[in-house]
Amino acid sequence: MTRKLAFRTRVCLLLAILAMGIAPIGGPAPLGVGTGRALAAPAPVEVAIGLTALPVSLDPVQDNGLTALATYSLLYDRLIDIDDRGNERPSVATSWRAVNDRTWEFKIRTGVRFHNGEPLDAAAVKFAIDRALTAPQSRFRTTLGPISRVNAPDATTVIVETSEPFAFLPSRLGTRVWFYPPRYFQERDVAGFTAAPVGSGPFRFVSWQRDNFVLLDRHDAYWGGAVQIARIRLRHMPDYNSRLTALEARELHLGYIMDVDDAERLERGGFRTVVQPIGQGFQYFFRTTIASPLRDVRVRQAFNHAVNKDLIARVFFAGKTRVLQGQPVGPDAQGFDADIKPYAFDQRRARQLLAEAGHPDGFALPMDIGIGFAPRAKEVAEMVAGDLRAIGVRTQIQENERGVYLDKLVNARMGPMWELSLNYAPSFDLLPVLNNFICDTLHKSHCDPQFDALYRRWVGSFNEADQKRLGNQALRYVSQQALALFLWQIPGIYVTSPNLQGVRFRGDYTMNLTQATVR
């Protein structure tokens, strides 16, 4: 009898212990949005936004990814902003000029304060730039340009010196470095600051949980004007279907969607879709540095003529993105040349060029694509392969998982034709584009000393007219040499709920919520 009781007691005890585990333990605070209509705690006016990723840290030097910009831009300010057409706009810097070919001067806006009341002055700007260049955690140590020294001679002036002429310093530095109060940061150090960050942006920090959510409240004294939305919750939702169902369940007011068909379905349910082309030109790079028929410019041009880009863009993106006009950037890039003639879809001309290059019967070619970098990459590759097959080129699509793809890229192991979403956001200038065609790249796709010389003159040119002319020459070289199969800009497809209005999207995945309202 005792043993019988003991067995039952043990079973009951086990179940009781298991049941105790159900009680929420250490989870985040309950969501105001997302608990469904019937659960109905009185809903605060809170806008929930589903992002593909939150930053790895709220310390803004620790994440240099484009996906982090959406969060940082709400919490922090930077020297220069980019509007929804890709144009530079003064932000914390009211103006900037080259003092000489190695010195830049930025004038800092007066009266701007951080959320904790500290002034955002030249000293704060210098502190943030210095830290971005030197902090062990910084991901910007090598990406801001050849900066040798930063000075703040007075509260409204920042002088940046470079070790060599670098004409692109304002856009590079101005769009990448975010500001935070130096005294507050020094009192808390990295961990303390990351736990409770302070910026000067339209929203101030409330709470966050890594890879889960960031909660921000309106900053009532925002220097850029009154903000309408009281609270926003940014949610880390890397899974596409999860974002989609959360939108359908009305748990999100705004979400980034990758599929036009899904966006159209949501539109039928009352959502609004906004398509903002991103500052990323989707293309297939040609490696002219390795043995393949693609070393011949006629073959590269033939490929550009053979592919029906408009049709593919219509099929996969309902025509809602911009097809690249024979160059690697869209019209939102500073330096875009509207006079460059795009490669028309003309398979007869393509076959003729192939024949002239000595390949009348075509050839076989491997084609490297990456998984998870661009929407519909696999389907697009298959359609491109179909068009190339029509001119006799038999491509073998090689799918590369993200890590493998990046490994191949940085170690110059890509095949003769490989997919690249060429990123020119957040600065929207030609520098991050054209520097992919010089000899000294990691992927080693092209090497022409003449182009390198032109590139160097362009980067070191401070005369505005010269810079424009040289940049245009370099861009035309890339176009005429057909160094890539130019396809389209990555479309940023956003879906917003009917009660959210006034959001403006930019081509660097950031959004301007200062004028947004929610019913």
Task: Give the interface with other proteins as residue ranges (CB under 8 A).
Answer: 4, 7-8, 10, 15, 18-22, 24-31, 34-39, 56-57, 62, 64, 136-137, 139, 142-143, 209-213, 235-239, 241-242, 245-246, 248-251, 401-404, 406-407, 409-411, 420, 422-423, 431-432, 435-436, 440-442
* Cβ proximity to other proteins, 251 vs 332, nearer residue: 251
* Cβ proximity to other proteins, 292 vs 441, nearer residue: 441
* Cβ proximity to other proteins, 210 vs 378, nearer residue: 210
Give, as one character, the DSSP assignment of residue 119. B
Whole-number minimum distance, CB 61 to other proteins, in Å?
10
Whole-number minimum distance, CB 495 to other proteins, in Å?
14
Whole-number minimum distance, CB 70 to other proteins, in Å?
17
DSSP letters, 293-350, are GGGSHHHHHHHHHHS-HHHHHHHHHTT-SPBP-SSSS-TTSTT--TTSPP----HHHH
| Burial state string for 99-112 with b = 16 or more CB within 10 A and e = fewer than 16 | eeebebbbbbbeeb
* Cβ proximity to other proteins, 64 vs 292, nearer residue: 64
Whole-number minimum distance, CB 143 to other proteins, in Å?
5
* Cβ proximity to other proteins, 343 vs 405, nearer residue: 405
Reference 78, options 67, 89, 65; nearest CA is 89
Distance CA 81, CA 176 (A): 10
Whole-number minimum distance, CB 466 to other proteins, in Å?
22
Whole-number minimum distance, CB 443 to other proteins, in Å?
9
Give, as one character, the DSSP assignment of residue 171. H
Whole-number minimum distance, CB 65 to other proteins, in Å?
10
Reference 343, options 475, 482, 446; nearest CA is 482
| Per-residue CA distances from 375 to 64, 225, 290, 304, 379 (Å) | 21, 36, 28, 21, 9
* Cβ proximity to other proteins, 7 vs 348, nearer residue: 7
* Cβ proximity to other proteins, 261 vs 407, nearer residue: 407
Three-state SS at 406: helix
Cα dihedral angle (452, 486, 176, 230), rounded to 10 degrees?
Answer: 170
Cis, bond preceding 331 (omega within 30 deg of 0): no
Three-state SS at 476: helix
